[in-house]
Structure 1
Amino acid sequence: MTTFVQFHLLTSYGPSNPNRDDQGRPKQAMVGDVPRLRMSSQSVKRALRESSFFALDLKGHIGTRTKRLHERLVSHLVGRGTEPTRAGAVGTEVAEIFGKIDEPKKGEVARVATTLAFISPEEWKLAEELAERSVAGEELPKEKDLKKLVLRKADGAVDIAMFGRMLADDADFNRDAAVQVAHAITTHRAQAEEDWYSAVDDLNKAEDTGAGHLGETAFGSGIYYQYVCVNADLLIENLGGDKELAARGAEALAKALPQTAPAGKQNSFAHRPMAFYMRAEAGPRAPRDLSGAFFTPVDRKMGELKVNDLQRGSVRALELTSTQIDTCYYDGQAERTCPPLNTLDGSGSLTEIVRFVGQAVRGA
């Protein structure tokens, strides 16, 4: 049976704009016919991949998402003494394994792939080695055989194993994501606001009055609910059966989730929140998110929840929904879990959750 590890987090954000829409405003969504602030799953996954927890705990096992493999291959070959024109030709031949390459514009040498490829450390190393062999005079195999020499279905890139990848030109080497990340939404009614700001000209002391520059920026504030589900069996499979590496990846994810946020407008708002509530569950049951706890926003049912603040109301709504699902679907039996982290009353610990998650994946 498949083992699923699920995370439920509540995090308070002060005035901030961590994830912007096309107009520079905080992303939003209508939930239960009520406006909420939102953070996209893509922005959350990017923040996780860029976190120090992934960088330190999974060093050497992180992929690279880029269009610039060709440029790096050319630079690598030129650095080893290859003539630039020859390096460019070989770089194109090898880089096209991952996607089509743009033709250079007049006067340009470097070419960029049209496909944003997710490349594992092993694949990157193999691409460099293959390019070196070609420069040395070795004839490379034809396209399909060439891809088989570099592309891998299972490798040591934990983030690719977690979040998947799609190679449009060759679906045989796609990766199904073992980790699903929901869009985070506020548990209560919340809307974006506008901030008008001014800047003063330091050298203008007396000649002109008023600001040297006027501008505006949008921001929002709220308590976000975040849901993440890990298919532990698929994560292990995506890593070629390396259960220990999969467990390390899940532990790094557990550390990063409550302490990592998308970094939009960080310098303007210095938003560095840590989740005040985190719940982890593991077992063979069908996964379920608990966003239904917030379809009626918490601020509308404070009396019903018997609380007088949004943070405790959000915790109460989430736990109540979980209990009601267990009652109706599983005869009141809760999924296997450990004590949740709750900074509101100082209970639980991240260390305990990380240990619980690691054990669940190792036992999958």
Structure 2
Amino acid sequence: MVKRLYLDVHILQTVPPANLNRDDQGNPKEAVFGGVRRARVSSQAWKRATRKEFADKLPQEELATRTRRVAAELTRRLAARTDLQDDAAARVAGALLAPLGIKAGKKEGDTAYLLFYGNRQLEAIVDLVADQATELAEASDDALAAAVKDLPIADQLTAGHPIDVALFGRMVADIPTLNVDAATQVAHALSTHAADLEFDYFTAVDDKNEKGETGAGMIGTIGFNSATLYRYATLGLHQLHDNLGDLDATLEAVELFVASFARAMPTGHGNSFAHRTLPTLLTVVARRDQPVNLVSAFERPVVSTEGIAAESATRLAREHLRATQQWGGEPAYTAVTHTLDPDTRHAAVVAEAFGASQPFGDLLTGLRAHLVEHTKQA
């Protein structure tokens, strides 16, 4: 058993004109905080971007899929592993999922909600019937239902969780046994300063315009803003270990999450704005008491002639120092990487709060070493 430990990840990231995460009007999401309007990117958007980063680092079978079309995916895997035609495979797949009690969606073949499952977990369900798939497909409806009724189908979805399910959890309201408590919480990203919504009026010329023909082939507007964002996530090492059940896998998942969360970027209107940047600052704070979101550092909007990002870093560091002094709970570990000018007061305050800046790879190595030592204390 791993002793309780929370890993808080704080990021400051400056994004140029962009529309990362749209609201129902197609404009960048916003929120009022500290009495002024801020740029906002939802936690869901950044969690999905983080999961997409996983795909570049791990084989697909070690990851998870979130979809309403779980029956169609199970059908595809059955057909690929057996001699069944699509219709027969679909019938067997439906029978396998029926004992779970997952509600059907409005569209035939869909579930009523997105189901987050491990790709290897779905293969394990196929394993249960692969050798008898032909006999099952030829059986009557009653005989097929009876044959799969007592198979440990739910067991395949409640064990051997992939990293992304272990990190982000799974909620199935009407089947509590399938729920997985998330090991991570991700906050909505907020600009550290007031942010205005602007509009890009664009025109597109028709390449096939006739000679002498004038005017645009298309016109429109895209809402955008630019911001220095404060991003925050916390990871419960103890919960992650409970979900994965293996220490090495837990340590790898921590490193994967921190690396992917740092580099992830929502892709909304990416072709229009080319907005992908790297963080100005990332710090990891290990705490034994509770997670601490430091967004209160920016309740008073940042206004600076020396750079919003640099002043935001100073605010973040001072808030951390004040919170620790007033509330106690000295961090078990801190590490930071940043691109601030090392000769400025901003870098000095950050160093006082979080330590000397180090390359990101060294930060990950040092974090893993600390976690290894922590787990030895259990």
Quick check: TM above 0.5? yes
Q: Which moved more, 1:169-178 or 1:200-209?
A: 200-209
Q: CA deviation at 1:148?
A: 3.5
State how many pairs are aligned: 348
Q: CA deviation at 1:16?
A: 0.7
Q: CA deviation at 1:327?
A: 1.1
Q: What is the 5 A alignment of 1:269-284?
A: 269-284=273-288
Check the 8 A contact 2:21/2:266 in 1, yes or no.
yes
Structure 1 position 113 matched with structure 2 position 114:
no
Q: CA deviation at 1:230?
A: 0.6
Structure 1 position 68 matched with structure 2 position 78:
no
Q: Determine the C-alpha separation between the residues in 1 that align with 2:40 and 2:77.
A: 42
**Partner of residue 196 from structure 1, selected from 198, 201, 214:** 201
Check the 8 A contact 1:254/1:353 in 2, yes or no.
no
Q: CA deviation at 1:7?
A: 0.6
Q: Determine the C-alpha separation between the residues in 1 that align with 2:358 and 2:282.
A: 9
Structure 1 position 289 matched with structure 2 position 293:
yes
Tell me the TM-score normalized by structure 1. Answer: 0.88
Q: CA deviation at 1:164?
A: 0.5
Check the 8 A contact 1:99/1:117 in 2, yes or no.
no
Task: Tell me the residue number matched to 1:352.
Answer: 362
Aligned-partner residue type, residue 165 of structure 1: R
**Partner of residue 341 from structure 1, selected from 337, 354, 374:** 337
Q: CA deviation at 1:60?
A: 4.0
Q: CA deviation at 1:71?
A: 1.4
Structure 1 position 174 matched with structure 2 position 179:
yes
Structure 1 position 160 matched with structure 2 position 161:
no
Residue 268 of structure 2 aligns to a residue whose secondary structure is coil
Task: Tell me the residue number matched to 2:257.
Answer: 253
Q: Determine the C-alpha separation between the residues in 2 that align with 1:26 and 1:12.
A: 15
Task: Tell me the residue number matched to 2:348.
Answer: none
Task: Tell me the residue number matched to 2:244.
Answer: 239
Residue 175 of structure 1 aligns to a residue whose secondary structure is coil
Q: CA deviation at 1:63?
A: 1.0
Residue 120 of structure 2 aligns to a residue whose secondary structure is helix
Task: Tell me the residue number matched to 2:49.
Answer: 47
Task: Tell me the residue number matched to 1:225.
Answer: 230
**Partner of residue 93 from structure 2, selected from 91, 99, 119:** 91
Higher helix share: 2
Residue 318 of structure 2 aligns to a residue whose secondary structure is helix
Structure 1: runs of 5 or more not aligned: 106-110
Q: Determine the C-alpha separation between the residues in 2 that align with 1:279 and 1:39.
A: 20
CA offset digits 1:239-274 (Å, max 9, x no partner): 02x111111111011212222111111111111110
Q: What root-mean-square deviation, in Å, do the aligned CA atoms of Structure 1 and Structure 2 show?
A: 2.3
Task: Tell me the residue number matched to 2:12.
Answer: 10
Task: Tell me the residue number matched to 1:148.
Answer: 154
Q: Which moved more, 1:344-353 or 1:111-120?
A: 344-353
Q: Determine the C-alpha separation between the residues in 2 that align with 1:146 and 1:202.
A: 60
Tell me the TM-score normalized by structure 2. Answer: 0.85
Residue 298 of structure 1 aligns to a residue whose secondary structure is coil
Residue 76 of structure 1 aligns to a residue whose secondary structure is helix
Report the CA distance shift for 1:178/1:12 in structure 2 as closer, same or farther (over 3 A).
same
Q: CA deviation at 1:47?
A: 0.4
Q: Determine the C-alpha separation between the residues in 2 that align with 1:149 and 1:20.
A: 38
Aligned-partner residue type, residue 301 of structure 2: P
Structure 1 position 265 matched with structure 2 position 269:
yes
Structure 2: runs of 5 or more not aligned: 137-143, 343-356
CA offset digits 1:174-205 (Å, max 9, x no partner): 01110110000000000221111001122225
Check the 8 A contact 1:5/1:229 in 2, yes or no.
yes
Q: Which moved more, 1:337-346 or 1:143-152?
A: 143-152
Check the 8 A contact 2:96/2:148 in 1, yes or no.
no
Q: CA deviation at 1:17?
A: 0.8
User: Identity percentage over the alignment?
Assistant: 29
Aligned-partner residue type, residue 341 of structure 1: T
Q: CA deviation at 1:123?
A: 1.7
Task: Tell me the residue number matched to 1:108.
Answer: none
Task: Tell me the residue number matched to 2:347.
Answer: none
Q: Determine the C-alpha separation between the residues in 1 that align with 2:127 and 2:46.
A: 34
Q: Determine the C-alpha separation between the residues in 1 that align with 2:227 and 2:175.
A: 42
